[in-house]
């Protein structure tokens, strides 16, 4: 019998006229219990846009597909971890599992936060749907982790190949100094160098309270043909501001970056500084499909015009993965059964076709090369090339 049902029975037993109830309650009575999902995201602090986007997507999903699946209501317990402290995320995950009895954990805005919660998922045998954090190694930290976002190696390798093919010969890399940044740096350097390019210098800025000005001054002095950048979602506008103010573009240095830097949520504040910048990512709000148009319109309409970004899509597809898995298990929330039901699942996402790789528990998906262009009165990352069904290559 699944753990969840056992636990529930135990509670009934403790609750009163027990033997009779335990013997006679039909399964459908258990099935009527809500399924609780602990959604831990930054809703405050420097990465609050990640939480806002994921929350909006989860709400839109439930609005569209209902809050009930396989006869059970899906209840979301939203927790703000502030985005910066692994201890806070870990405590919230622990409380959600032991006090609130959630059957699923989801969210996780940044790598250190996802890594801190991984042992809790393993101990409690609770699926942990990582919708945002993107360092390659994360799913290896627990057999209960599945990831509906992307990895930095996955989006960086295609850009490094594109740069080499497009006659860029010398590059300085510049990343945030933690998991995803180090992944991006390593993969860019290897892929670009293997293709005959030269990495002149590799710079790393601190994640907390970064001052990008001195780094960009150094890049200007090094005079590479291009600068490759990864900073996490939320930080891109500050980098673009310094890139412009220090006159790097004017000095003939070309900016290339992962889509995290030109996050759709930030494009309005970055504005013309993004014009012509080539980036790579698994999602753009400008992805030309009817499904995506409907999605972008839905997010905007329900959230005062907010433009959907890639973190929202990770959240939306995380809900899809959970709902479809619950259909397969007939509402059984046993962690091992849910993970087994999720492995290998394919669907048409608003980003394009995706599959949750059964072995890696990561998305296999298209990675798009895009160029920032003015569309109407706003800048968008317009896809012009793609690597299809691309797996995380690791580091
Ligand atoms: C991460 O911490 O893993 C992370 C956060 C934001 C991004 C990418 C990676 O845009």
Residue pair 131/315 in contact (Cβ under 8 Å)? The answer is: yes
* 359 class by beta-carbon count within 10 Å (0-12 exposed, 13-18 middle, 19+ buried): exposed
Query: Which H helix or E strand runs over 370?
Result: strand 363-375
Distance separating alpha carbons of residues 391 and 163, to the nearest angstrom: 20
pLDDT value of position 110:
98
pLDDT in tens, 65-94: 999 999 999 999 999 999 999 999 999 999
pLDDT value of position 16:
37
pLDDT value of position 15:
37
Cβ(259) to ligand 1 under 6 A?
A: no
- Nearest CA-CA partner of 255 in 241, 269, 234: 241
pLDDT value of position 13:
38
pLDDT value of position 26:
46
**Ligand 1: residue whose CA is nearest its atom 7:** 232
**Ligand 1 atom nearest to CA at 263:** 10
Residues 82-96 as b/e (b if ≥16 CB within 10 A, e otherwise) read bbbebebbbbbbeeb
Cβ(84) to ligand 1 under 6 A?
A: no
pLDDT in tens, 240-252: 999 999 999 999 9
Distance separating alpha carbons of residues 8 and 17, to the nearest angstrom: 15
Instruction: Give residue 212 CA to ligand 1 midpoint distance, Å.
Output: 18
> Is residue 7's pLDDT more than 60?
no
Helices and strands (H, E) in the chain, number of each type: 14, 15
Distance separating alpha carbons of residues 142 and 121, to the nearest angstrom: 7
How high does pLDDT run on average in the chain? Answer: 93
Furthest-apart CA atoms within the chain: distance in Å: 81
**Ligand 1 atom nearest to CA at 50:** 6
Give the CA radius of gyration of the chain.
22
pLDDT in tens, 126-141: 999 999 999 999 999 9
- Nearest CA-CA partner of 177 in 202, 199, 200: 202
């Amino acid at each position: 019998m699944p753990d969840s049902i056992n636990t529930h029975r135990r509670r009934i037993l403790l609750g009163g006229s027990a033997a009779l109830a335990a013997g006679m309650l039909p399964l459908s009575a258990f099935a009527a219990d809500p399924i609780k999902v602990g959604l831990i995201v930054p809703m405050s602090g420097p990465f609050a846009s990640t939480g806002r986007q994921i929350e909006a997507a989860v709400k839109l999903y439930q609005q569209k597909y209902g809050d009930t699946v396989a006869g059970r209501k899906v209840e979301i317990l939203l927790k703000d971890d502030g985005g910066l402290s692994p201890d806070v995320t870990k405590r919230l995950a622990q409380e959600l599992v032991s006090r609130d009895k959630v059957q699923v954990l989801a969210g996780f805005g940044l790598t250190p936060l996802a890594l801190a919660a991984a042992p809790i998922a393993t101990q409690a045998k609770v699926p942990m749907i990582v919708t945002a954090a993107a360092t390659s190694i994360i799913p290896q930290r627990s057999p209960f982790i599945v990831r509906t976002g992307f990895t930095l190696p996955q989006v960086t390798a295609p850009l490094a190949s594109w740069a080499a093919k497009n006659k860029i010969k010398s590059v300085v890399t510049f990343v945030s100094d933690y998991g995803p940044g180090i992944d991006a740096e390593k993969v860019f350097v290897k892929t670009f160098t293997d293709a005959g390019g030269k990495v002149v210098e590799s710079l790393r800025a601190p994640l907390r309270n970064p001052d990008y000005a001195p780094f960009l001054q150094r890049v200007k002095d090094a005079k590479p043909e291009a600068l490759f950048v990864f900073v996490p979602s939320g930080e891109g506008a500050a980098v673009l501001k310094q890139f412009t103010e220090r006159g790097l573009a004017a000095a003939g240095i070309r900016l290339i970056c992962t889509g995290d830097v030109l996050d759709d949520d930030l494009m309005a504040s970055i504005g013309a500084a993004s014009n012509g910048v080539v980036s790579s990512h698994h999602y753009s709000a400008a992805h030309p499909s009817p499904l995506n148009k409907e999605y972008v319109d839905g997010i905007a309409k329900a959230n005062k015009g907010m433009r959907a970004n890639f973190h929202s899509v990770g959240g939306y597809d995380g809900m899809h993965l959970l709902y479809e898995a619950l259909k397969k298990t007939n509402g059984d929330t046993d962690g091992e059964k849910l993970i087994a039901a999720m492995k290998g699942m394919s669907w048409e996402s608003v980003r394009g076709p995706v599959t949750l790789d059964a072995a890696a528990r990561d998305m296999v998906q298209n990675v798009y090369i895009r160029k920032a262009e003015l569309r109407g009165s706003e800048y968008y990352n317009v896809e012009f090339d793609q690597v299809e069904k691309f797996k995380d290559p690791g580091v």
